[in-house]
Structure 1
């Protein structure tokens, strides 16, 4: 069943269905997150002195925040199962959500029609992706044992498989594979050959095609290194990937790819008992064909190899051309992944450098949020103490003693007004005060009552002691 407004071919991307399903209620319109509100600071407020910071400097980058919000939103998406003809429960999984948004299901890769769903597991509460092979009747129970070897593989560039089982919940004989779920992912086909990619690479009439319309060579080397690493792990345990296809490789982050649908072909072709050594040679050949397809940015690049090699020679380095030709050459003698890794040596060092630089950026963003977590704990204590109606049979507990100082400090931080009596909404003031309070510095401030008839001169250290004392009183009451 097609989904209105869906983008064809986008298997794992953000759901384009505008419905949430609530138990006991009807279908409701989804309110999208306001991603556009996460804007970067304008130039005239960005060029500050070294000791100054904008509000953006206290939090993670806007692009990373938006990406994480999109992933969280996608994990929580649900639909009405009856409306889309889906089972309420499937084995130990429920809340199925269609991810395969293509209107026509191709049988080219598996030989059977297949579909993909997001689901929740009743056992561990986690989200998984279900790959359903439609109309497949399993005749040999021993075929299920082929999944055991794949379950033991844990690799950064392979989508891990959890289990496989058969089911009639869809009204036919279906074979179900359960994989780890990577929200907002796209296939390599969608990224480089899908409708959006084709639109972005359209050449304006009268303007010659430039290098901007091809995939950057550094990205191609990164893809090759990641896929080679995945094949090394697979071949080392006596298995073969068998599905190095752009529609079965997921892009789960910036230039981060993972082999998907591992183990499916082993079960579908169990009765034919194929030779693993030959299949591993096919993996290397298919890897070379994939790289030629990406380099030429054409799905038919392998139909005319000589012309494709000529195109690669014009736009890429000699090293990349030689690597692709080696991968596609006849396996005499038998080629191994170790030989490919040896040829990739210098490029692997560059990949390691890029990964470590990206890790440094993420650690920096994490450090910003680490400080924000301290402030949230302080605000929680404020919420527990301030304006408490009654405690220990004393209605005025939050208005007397140390609690009165905490209340005045709350007003000092959040309820200040300017000369015209208008609220002062200064986030920098709030963050500065809370950081000084958390550190317990000896700096003193003036706290004034709301009637302006009395004032107190106290230090942040004393206020912190008051908060800790009041919170301990509340904790002892449990």
Structure 2
């Protein structure tokens, strides 16, 4: 937002760098919970992390004690399919809810042209939601926000990921509700059936949806999907006494195993990609060490750091890796040679290489292990005589030169 935007005053400390997540020029300033609200992406100054902050104004039924109670109930609920509630508090005559911010996600209703989902993708989404409900119900709580407005999705070429958002808000806003936990959890299961029908048809179906729309959506499901899926939806959404989440888990045990296999494959792909980044980090560490020790001007008089000292091998190795030329004197830009040499240096390979001075009058036969030992000893010697970063920071604060 623009620094002069008056909405910055609506953001309490320690949050800053607000970015409004509400759609521009909304027709109705009331949120899906029935109260005036505003949603922001913010940064917490204490930890530097991104969060999603919601401000509800004119809420007289929520006091600091209720906010603290709701936070205590939900803060410990962690699950890969839940946007965790981090804070709930009353300030500036408003109620604030701070949830985990999940980059790259959108509400299902924010997708401009919702794709027609294949049945395996729908069953994957069902299995993900079953694990979320099982976690919440196992903690003796109820979701109470299970519809497309509060469902975040991440879609890519491989799979659809589901996240439940806004948990704990209804608990605070309707704290005085007299419904029992059993009633709330049963309503969760009915809403689960409506939620499945919603993602199948792309229409947000709630308890207030008119019968004609509901009938059209059920007809669409019957025409395009299997009888098993349609029966599963109707069993949940139309039953006065829907099955518990444990019963649903047992009925979906086979599909849950398929989802576990899919998750393990996704994890393997992620670990493979991460290992590549880790290897890049090892090469960067070697490059930083070489940059620190090569040709330091303040050590020119020191024989160990001079062109005839022990560190001469590091200068020659630097030229061997980066400054090669062909017979005509043209530079050789071989990235494969650079990566191979750095990997062998990192592994302290015993392979022998020939290092040459720039004038070609001096030759040296060493192994990568010899170069690695020289680099480590020289770098450690340099570190032992260096100025700690804390001392540099103090000098900078005092206006003294380095």
Normalised by the length of structure 2, the TM-score is: 0.86
Residues 81 and 88 in structure 1, CA contact (< 8 A), matched pair in contact too:
no
Change (3 A) 1:251 1:326: same
Residues 81 and 95 in structure 1, CA contact (< 8 A), matched pair in contact too:
no
Change (3 A) 1:440 1:395: closer
Partner of 2:78: 154
In the alignment, does 2:48 pair up with 1:125? yes
Partner of 2:230: 321
Partner of 1:215: 117
Residues 121 and 128 in structure 1, CA contact (< 8 A), matched pair in contact too:
yes
In the alignment, does 2:95 pair up with 1:175? yes
In the alignment, the residues of structure 2 paired with residue 150 and residue 313 of structure 1 have an alpha-carbon distance, to the nearest angstrom, of 38
CA drift of 1:392 comes to 8.7
In the alignment, the residues of structure 2 paired with residue 337 and residue 132 of structure 1 have an alpha-carbon distance, to the nearest angstrom, of 32
Normalised by the length of structure 1, the TM-score is: 0.73
List alignment gaps of at least 5 residues for structure 1. Answer: 1-78, 199-212
In the alignment, does 2:365 pair up with 1:457? yes
Aligned residue among 397, 410, 420 for 2:318: 410
Partner of 1:359: 267
Change (3 A) 1:457 1:217: same
CA drift of 1:395 comes to 8.7
In the alignment, does 2:265 pair up with 1:341? no
CA drift of 1:107 comes to 2.8
Change (3 A) 1:162 1:288: same
In the alignment, does 2:145 pair up with 1:225? no
Corresponding residue SS for 2:90: strand
CA drift of 1:138 comes to 4.2
Partner of 2:334: 426
In the alignment, the residues of structure 2 paired with residue 240 and residue 256 of structure 1 have an alpha-carbon distance, to the nearest angstrom, of 21
CA drift of 1:240 comes to 1.4
Change (3 A) 1:137 1:426: farther
In the alignment, the residues of structure 2 paired with residue 90 and residue 456 of structure 1 have an alpha-carbon distance, to the nearest angstrom, of 65
In the alignment, the residues of structure 2 paired with residue 455 and residue 141 of structure 1 have an alpha-carbon distance, to the nearest angstrom, of 77
Alignment of 1:27-426 (within 5 A): 79-83=1-5, 85-87=7-9, 90-104=12-26, 105=28, 107=30, 109-138=32-61, 140-144=63-67, 145-168=69-92, 173-190=93-110, 194-195=111-112, 197=113, 214-252=116-154, 254-299=159-204, 303-304=211-212, 305-332=214-241, 335-391=243-299, 394=302, 397-426=305-334
Corresponding residue SS for 1:461: helix
Change (3 A) 1:281 1:130: same
Residues 147 and 163 in structure 1, CA contact (< 8 A), matched pair in contact too:
yes
Q: Deviations over 1:345-395 (max 9, x none)?
A: 111011001001111111111222222222122111101101211139639
In the alignment, the residues of structure 2 paired with residue 276 and residue 161 of structure 1 have an alpha-carbon distance, to the nearest angstrom, of 20
Q: Deviations over 1:241-269 (max 9, x none)?
A: 11112121112565221111011011111
Corresponding residue SS for 1:90: coil
Change (3 A) 1:395 1:81: farther
Corresponding residue SS for 1:351: helix
Q: Which has the higher contact order (CA 8 A, sep 6+)?
A: 1
Corresponding residue SS for 2:89: strand
Change (3 A) 1:283 1:386: same
In the alignment, the residues of structure 2 paired with residue 469 and residue 279 of structure 1 have an alpha-carbon distance, to the nearest angstrom, of 66
Q: Deviations over 1:95-154 (max 9, x none)?
A: 222223343155362001322212222333332221112333345444222231111211
Corresponding residue SS for 1:473: helix
Change (3 A) 1:87 1:106: closer
CA drift of 1:462 comes to 1.9
Change (3 A) 1:346 1:419: same
Of structures 1 and 2, the larger Rg is shown by: 2
List alignment gaps of at least 5 residues for structure 2. Answer: 387-402
CA drift of 1:420 comes to 4.3
Partner of 2:397: none
Q: How many residues were matched structurally?
A: 377
Q: Deviations over 1:32-56 (max 9, x none)?
A: xxxxxxxxxxxxxxxxxxxxxxxxx
In the alignment, the residues of structure 2 paired with residue 443 and residue 395 of structure 1 have an alpha-carbon distance, to the nearest angstrom, of 28
Change (3 A) 1:120 1:347: same
RMSD: 2.4
